[in-house]
Amino acid sequence: MYYELFLRSFADGNGDGIGDLQGATEKLDYISALGMEGIWLLPIMSSPSYHGYTVTDFYNVNPIYGDIKDLRLFLAEAHKRDLKVILDLPLNHTSTNHEWFLRALNGERPYSDWYLWLEDESWLKARRPWDKQKVWTPIGSTFYYSLFGPGSPDLNYDSESLWHECRNILTFWLSLGFDGFRFDAAKHIFDFSKKIGNCEYQHDRNIAFWSDMTSHSRKINPEAIFVSEVWDDWETVEKYSSTFGIGFNFPLSYVIKEAIEGRSVQKFIDGFRGTMPHYFTDNRSFESGVFLTNHDMTRLVTNMNGNQNQAIFALSMLMSVPGIPFVFYGEELGMEGVYNELFNEEQLEPFPWYESGFGPGQTEWKAVDKNRPGMGRSYEKQSKSNESFLSRFRKTLLFRKERPWLRWAKVDNIYEKSGCLCLELTQGTRRISFIYNLSDSAKNLCIEKTIHTLAGSATTTDNGINLKAWSCAVIE
C-alpha cells in the first residue's frame, strides 16, 4: 500500500506554516503505523505553483520544502522503516519560468527545439479533447502548445537531445535514493498531430518513449518501480501498463463509488469484470494501482455525501481487490473537499493534526473550509478513540497489510447472493471470500463457515448471518 503525500499540507518542520521534508521525516512513524509500505511523493521540484506540476528546475528541490540534504535524510529514514518512496515526475511540460523556455523564447538551441511552436494558423482550431479549451497560447508574434493551460508549455519529444536530457533527470533522482517514479500525464507525451493539425493521442509513440525511459532507469536500479497515470478507459490503460509494470486503475475507482451511490450489486460486477480482466487469469504482465481518490478528485467522505459508514465500506471494497492500493493523505481522518478544476485547493487542505487547528508541525499555508477546527477530524481527537473514523480506517488498512498475497490474487468468482455482492479470490492454496451488503437495510444469508467483518457488523442467526447495512463479511 502507498500513501499519496502532498508535502505542503502534511507537516511543517521549520515553523513557517508550510509542510516540508523535515516535517514529513518526523511523521514517518505515523505513515508506517497506518500499515503503509510506500509513499507516493507529489512533485517536490522547484516550481512557482502550489501543486508543483509546473517545474522550473528538474534538478533541485523546491526551497520551501528544504534542500537535497533534507531529501536524503527523508529517504534514508523512510528506508529504515521499509517504506519505498516514488517521486511524482511531470515530464510532459514545464513552467513558463523554466530557464529552458526563457532561452527558447530567445531562439537559443537546443531549447527552441524542446517546445512546440505554431507552424500553421489552421492549428489554432485545435481543442483540448476533454473540455474543448484552446491549446495554443500566444506569446509575442507566435504561439506555443500548452495542453494543460498557458502556464504549462508542452515539451517537444521529437527532439533527440530532449530525450537525452530526460534520461539525465531520471538518473539524478534515482541516484538520490528514490525507488521509482509515478509518471504524470503519461499518454500526453505525443498528443498533437502536425499531420491533422489537432490533438491526437499517439499511443505507440508514447509507449516507445516510456519504454526507453524505464529501460534506462532499470539500468540504474533494476528494482525501480514505475506507475503510469493514464486517465482513460481500461483498454487504453492496459496499453501502457505493461511497459510500466503498474497502471493506475481510474475506471475501477469510479466503479466502486458509483456502485455504492446506486446501491447496485450488478453495476459493481459488470464494472469490475470490465476494469480488472487481467486478474481473472493466472498470467498477467502488469498490476493495477487501485485507489478511491487522489489529488485531482473529490475526497471520499464528500463523495459519499458525508456518510462515514459508506466511506469505510468503500475502503473495505478497495482493500479486498487484487492490485496495489493507494491512499490519499487525510482520507484516514475523513477529511472532506470538493475538487474544482479551476480552484482545486479544497481537497488539498492542511492535514489537521490538532483539534484546535494549531500546534507544532501544523501546516497553515491556506485557509481551511471543509476541515475546520473543532469538527472532530483531527488526528489529536481521533487517535484517542477506538471507534473513531481513523481507528476504523486503520483497522481496514491493517487487514490488507496482514494479507500481502491479495496483491497477486486471482479472481475465482464474482456474483450476487441474497441481494449481496460476493467476491472470491485465490492465490496458491490461499482462499478468501468477501460478502458486501450495498444497501441501507440488513440482509440474511445462509453461511455455514465462520466469518468476521471488515466493515460494519454481522450477527449470527439460526440459518447463517444477518449482515447489517453497509457491511462487509469475510470468510477465510
Active site residues: 184, 229
Using CA atoms, how far apart are residues 228 and 245, in angstroms rounded to an integer?
A: 8
Q: What is the DSSP string of 89-154?
A: E--SB--TTSHHHHHHHTT-TTGGGGB-B---GGGGG-B-TTT--B-EEEETTEEEE-TT-TT-PB
Name the pairing type of β-strands 245-248 and 225-228: parallel
Identity of residue 458: A
CA 57 centroid distance within chain: 23
User: What CA–CA distance (Å, rounded) separates 451 from 465?
Assistant: 9
The residues facing 59 across adjacent strands are none
In this structure, the chain runs to a length of 476
Dihedral sign (CA 215, 153, 144, 98): negative
CB count within 10 Å of CB 76 equals 11
Other Cβ atoms closer than 10 A to 62: 23
